A and B are shown apart, each in its own frame.
Chain A
């Protein structure tokens, strides 16, 4: 120590900016490395979790295998601020870079242009592996005014979505070092998301693939047009899953902002496929009915997005709806109401977006054959009641359309007229959405399904014959007040599809056919 000149003393402390995520929210983290001539040790402090602790081993091996020196000194890495919990392996790269700066093996070349931030996981051989949540990290750094970011090459495409942020991909530690020494050069080109969106068909599956089921298709068109949630009831093999799968294809085309939002959530969940770093289609999520409540709505020790958030701006398909855990079903209520999920833990509270269209499907009875002309149902009465009563009123209140999906016999399938393509249906849906957005401007609501009862009174004008029909239905069909509200909402969407500003009796009558029938059939 005594032999070292004074200016080298100053080099022993180095800083690299990085970012920690809690949910989609970024928090600034500064990685500081201090090297002193003392008994050899390498410690990481600043509330690191197990994965961060292990990063010492990866950093040591990556440095040595990238032909840098790992001197026998006392090295302390601090992740500031010390009261924020740091998780995951994304601090490997900034720790290694801070270490190399602190030991003087690397010089910062940014020259007053502002320092670069870094995130990335290291392999033992010095490769830089992709991390989860790179898009959210990049957005957060940009919002803080950071100039540029050195990050794994595999994350470059998503980070490059963020405008006005220089993105420097690095496949190895050596490349990352080169970027730091050059102060950043050869930034990844911005991604032309619009071109990518235009080039991607909205869905591989087309509505015209399904023969027959015109009644159900019409109802699904209405559902998508007004962003209404749907419950389909029908025997196994009626085509409920096939129909649901085709819904993203008739939803309005994805906008740029929507694609970024979806990518952000999928990135944080670590679900972006390696080859396709961007999500350019509306998601279709179909979790199995054995899924846990945290799996469906989000949660876990480190709150991760659940299926409701992964289905954000797309479709969440729950087949065998009554078979899901009750806790999972009840957990759906808040996201369906608010369009987002908040998960609270002792140290953090995380919010994920969850603006999804719920498409639920169920069999008419546990055995699946009630009402099937070909087979007889064998369910005992109590099982049937049990099956139907698993769905709570408050949850069903958030589902505007109820459909019966009958099984189409092969001869009808052959006889059926050719069906419309998804593109034709989508065009009508878009026109209906445009009317809704214009009407609801300034209300904070963008589609009919989300109208409150105040909006209903204001925006759903019924012609006198329609009012009379609603009153009569209210008495005859014993609609509840809520069910009547849902009928009006759906009628509003039907009128929008027809391009009408006033809801006619015919619109209302059609809407009634999708109403909640309570226990019917079966007393």
Chain B
């Protein structure tokens, strides 16, 4: 490991180097910070000291399972090889490699003013962030500095939401964006994707429209089925990762990513999650950091209600609407119309005036009590099924109801 210089490197190069090293070895930063007590102390080390630390057995930055953190042996080996290669490369070479990128890709170091201050609350903050979003570096930097002045809220939840969870995520994502709050999430399947898509589609005058924190390189569209959404977030929002470019997704990187999401937001809203889930981890980090934790209450007895209901029991706040979130994080509600589009009850007269259909009104009234199938609606309203089918479609076209699992129709609330 001789090529690595013994004299101290620049703070920015040091941050990027250490951040890149941490991309390949779980918990590396945490152990370094513990060794040097403060971040400032850590950044004053010479590269040689880092090399020596990394090579130290046991404590030495080496995870108990040798660079492990799950994955196949081949994956662990590949991570370890990358780690050693970066170690040999040294800070300057590493920095210049990290910056040899297309114009929209930016590296922000811990030592820079552009680095989000919220992340400094973490005991083991990312030493640098790899960011993309927009066509050029200036756009990315403008969006990054906007993040410092705008309230951020993380919306997280299960990858397999029920239609109720999807509706709530959509409502919150869109409503928060319209209320001027930037939605932070992980671009995962399910709740993350629904909330972020809704935030983009709210077409609020926000820049960035949403912030995605990834558990892989910021230039890696993972999961692949979200590639389209990834591109849309890249166009109008920010994609952030503490892992260097082209780092593949590994199971240990997601919990690490969750702490960044938790730290970025003023609060975290959890929409559906199982007892042991990534969303729960995010909420736990947020609570540790003193961020507000809100949960959308779940139906009793369902697996996906475990995380939110348990957290509510532990003191999390109830989130039933965008207004709840705004109240808790201390953002003034811009009033009805800005944050919401009015209740179903408000639109009812207009719809009935438009169509003059009594069956639509009957169906709407029945749906206000419960989600029902066509047959159940027909029985309750005393209507033929053909009329009920037409009525629910009318409601769907007007965005007042939608069909959910099991052929049931449910009213949508805004």
Contacts and interface: CB of A to CB of B under 8 A. Distances in A.
A472 interface: yes
A215 B390 contact: no
A506 B163 CA distance: 27
Interface string A429-462: 0000000000000000000000000000000000
Contacts of B405: 364, 370-372, 521
A218 interface: yes
A477 B396 contact: yes
B385 A215 contact: yes
A512 interface: yes
B389 A510 contact: yes
A370 B389 CA distance: 22
Contacts, number: 115
A219 B388 CA distance: 12
Given A381-B190, A406-B406, A406-B408, A415 B379 contact: yes
Given A381-B160, A406-B406, A477-B397, A213 B375 contact: yes
Nearest to A475: B397
B375 A215 contact: yes
A368 to B, nearest CB: 12
B391 A372 contact: no
A407 B373 CA distance: 10
B324 interface: no
A507 to B, nearest CB: 8
A215 B405 CA distance: 16
Interface in A185-241: 212-215, 217-219, 234-235
Contacts of B21: none
A385 B403 contact: no
Contact of B378 (A215, A405, A473, A520): A215
Nearest to A476: B397
Contacts of A512: 393, 396-397
- Range of interface residues on B (Cβ < 8 Å): 35 or more
B225 interface: yes
Given A370-B405, A523-B189, A215 B373 contact: yes
B407 A405 contact: yes
Q: Which of B163, B379, B394 has the most CB of A within 10 A?
A: B394
Contacts of A372: 405-406
Given A404-B406, A404-B407, A406-B407, A215 B388 contact: yes
A11 interface: no
A396 interface: no
A509 B397 contact: yes
Contact of A412 (B193, B375, B392, B396): B375
A438 to B, nearest CB: 23
Q: Which of B355, B386, B408 has the most CB of A within 10 A?
A: B386
B375 A214 contact: yes
Nearest to A213: B375
B166 interface: yes
Contacts of B387: 506, 510
B190 A509 contact: no
B128 interface: no
Contacts of B390: 506-507, 509-510, 513
A469 interface: yes
Interface string B402-413: 111111100000
A243 interface: no
- Range of interface residues on A (Cβ < 8 Å): 35 or more
Interface string B198-226: 00000000000000000000000000010
Given A364-B405, A521-B166, A384 B160 contact: yes
A376 B303 contact: yes
B378 A214 contact: yes
Interface string B369-383: 000011110110000
Contacts of A521: 163, 166, 403-405
Interface in B283-314: 302-303
A408 interface: yes
Nearest to A234: B407
A405 B193 CA distance: 29
B276 to A, nearest CB: 15
A446 to B, nearest CB: 24
Contacts of B392: 513
Contacts of B379: 412, 415-416
A509 B375 contact: no
B194 A523 contact: yes
B406 A371 contact: yes
Contacts of A380: 160
Contact of A212 (B303, B375, B399): B375
Contacts of A217: 385
B374 A510 contact: no
B366 to A, nearest CB: 14
A83 B161 CA distance: 65
Nearest to B192: A523
B279 to A, nearest CB: 14
B88 interface: no
B393 A376 contact: no
Contacts of B160: 380-381, 384, 522
Contact of B389 (A218, A405, A408): A218
Interface string A464-477: 00000100110011
A495 B391 CA distance: 16
Q: Which of A381, A405, A494, A521 has the most CB of B within 10 A?
A: A521
Nearest to B373: A406
A144 interface: no
Given A215-B375, A405-B407, A510 B399 contact: no
B161 to A, nearest CB: 8
A513 B389 CA distance: 6
Interface string B170-198: 00000000000000000001100110010
Nearest first, the 7 closest Cβ-Cβ pairs linking A and B are A371-B405, A404-B407, A215-B374, A371-B406, A509-B390, A512-B393, A510-B390
18 contacts: A214-B374, A218-B389, A371-B404, A371-B408, A372-B406, A376-B302, A404-B403, A404-B407, A406-B375, A406-B408, A473-B397, A476-B397, A494-B386, A509-B393, A511-B393, A513-B374, A513-B389, A523-B197
Interface of B: 159-161, 163, 166, 189-190, 193-194, 197, 225, 302-303, 355, 373-376, 378-379, 385-394, 396-399, 402-408
Given A376-B303, A513-B374, A522-B163, 8 more contacts: A214-B374, A215-B373, A215-B374, A217-B385, A406-B406, A408-B375, A510-B387, A517-B403
